[in-house]
Amino acid sequence: MTERVTLITGASAGIGAEFARIFAANKHRVALVARRTERLNALASEITAAGGAAPIIIPCDLEQRDACDQIAAALAAADVEVEYVVNNAGFGMFGRAIEMDRDRQLGMLEVNVRALTDLSLRFSDSLIRNKGGILNLSSIAGFLPGPGMAVYYASKAYVLSFTEALRQELGSKGVRVTALCPGPVPSEFQARAGFTPGLDSAILNVSAADVALLGYQGLMANKRTVFPGLGIKIVPLLLRFFPRGFIAGAVARLQLRRV
């Protein structure tokens, strides 16, 4: 039987690295994707030292259009097939959309939307054969309009919608599909996005390790969505009571004051 692996993108730091540790600790062989080879190698060494199967390292940049082809080729060369896909990679940019670099914002969509969609669909036959699953990292931002991070919020809304629809299509074939929707998570994300977390982030945040564990448990339990932390769980409920225009204005007041 061909060996099965869990493919994890954005695995070099933050939630992605925690996903790698959790899946490996639960006897999954992991295939780790990220740009920074040295970090992937260090994480792979940590996993094997803890008794896990040797990870497959796939250094590549998901902004590049051939990245998913590179991933597929690396897995084929290793003679493995995918049992689970964890689409964790993604980044944001903070500021007014019309003032920020357009190409970088389009690059964000390459990672947050195109690569996630490609990998979710590309390995679907393998996921069905192995009765595996897909865990897509959305965000509480996917429920909101996001002035100050307009493209990022929109990308996460896509992820949420796509994941829920794919769940309906693949559920009858034995494939679990789950959207993980955290709030602010202390990681390198904020620095790359270009903003310093405020009190609102401090109130809502949950550690990367806890987010990854809850995401793993949610996927294995075949949950539709996972909201890590009590504060995040109540946000979608509260949003039902306010008009979208009011919500957009509130987000603008909160975020644009930092620009």
The residues that are catalytic are 152
Q: Which amino acid is it at 17?
A: A
Rounded to whole angstroms, the Cα distance separating 245 from 77 reads 51
Rounded to whole angstroms, the Cα distance separating 60 from 248 reads 36
Q: Are the CB atoms for 135 and 86 separated by under 8 Å?
A: yes
- Closest by CA position to 207, among listed 17, 78, 69, 54: 17
Q: Are the CB atoms for 62 and 88 separated by under 8 Å?
A: no
DSSP label at residue 140: G
Tokens 């620009």: give the residue.
259
Residue burial 83-107, b: 16+ Cβ < 10 Å; e: rest: bbbbbbbbbbbbbebeebeeeebeb
Rounded alpha-carbon distances, angstroms, from residue 212 to 4, 61, 81, 117, 256 = 21, 22, 23, 20, 30
- Closest by CA position to 88, among listed 24, 133, 39, 137: 137
Tokens 């590309």: give the residue.
122
Number of H-type helices and E-type strands within the chain: 12, 7
